[in-house]
Amino acid sequence: MKPLTKTILQALAMAAVFSVPFLFAESNVGEEQLPANMKAPAQSRITADELSKAKLAHKQGFDGAEQTSDLPMAAALSIYDNSTILVHGGNHTVLPPRAVLHLPKKYQGKISTHPVGKYIPWPEFYLANRQWLFTYQVTERQALGQDAINENVTVQFQKMNRLVVSLLENHPVSVAPKRPSE
């Protein structure tokens, strides 16, 4: 084969290989993610100025409702604002506030003011940390602060040296301080 012919054939072969992506793109074949009927872009990314103008021109509010300034204080939106957060091994879980009945000094670091790492549901967190966690089933009256937890039980908590979490029907519950008898 003449060198010139060989060069032309090689060039054609290379062109065929390199043109495959373009040919496929044009016919939307070969790239499954692309929509079947590709449309041309209708707009460019909005700029901050354009968006500010659009927002100014837009009438915000509810039809049939009147604005008021008589509002409650900004509420806690995050569950972490109203929970006891336990952390261990780079993960965290949440408990109702006042659900920790006993906190040994050595485990004070397990309670955090903010979540650390990934959230693990309490049942899994407990199973993975039973060496330092203990659960205690309280009654509804105890949870409501109408009955005190037996003193013998609290003494046992001191001896076992584990962090104790209160449960009601196997789910964590807050325990109100015992109210004085009326």
Cα diameter, the chain: 112
Separation in Å, CA 157 to CA 126, 133, 148: 17, 11, 15
Name residues contacting another protein, limited to 51-80 (CB under 8 A): 51-52, 54-55, 58, 60-72, 74-80
| Stretch of 95-103, 127-135, 151-159 contacting another protein, by CB under 8 A | 95-103
| Stretch of 49-57, 100-108, 127-135, 153-161 contacting another protein, by CB under 8 A | 49-57
| Stretch of 101-109, 114-122, 127-135, 151-159 contacting another protein, by CB under 8 A | 114-122
| Token digits of residue 89 | 């091994």
Closest CA relative to residue 100, chosen from 55, 54, 47, 149: 149
Closest contact distance (angstroms) between CB of 130 and another protein is 16
State whether the Cα torsion 10-15-17-18 is positive or negative: positive
Q: Cβ closer to another protein: 123 or 150?
A: 123
Q: Cβ closer to another protein: 118 or 159?
A: 118
**Contact yes or no for 101/165 (Cβ under 8 A):** yes
Burial 154-167 (b: 16+ CB within 10 A, else e): eeebeeeebbbbbb
By rule CB under 8 A, what string of x and - marks binding of each residue 118-137 to another protein?
Answer: xx-xxxx-------------
Please report whether residue 36 would count as binding another protein according to CB under 8 A.
no
Closest contact distance (angstroms) between CB of 123 and another protein is 5
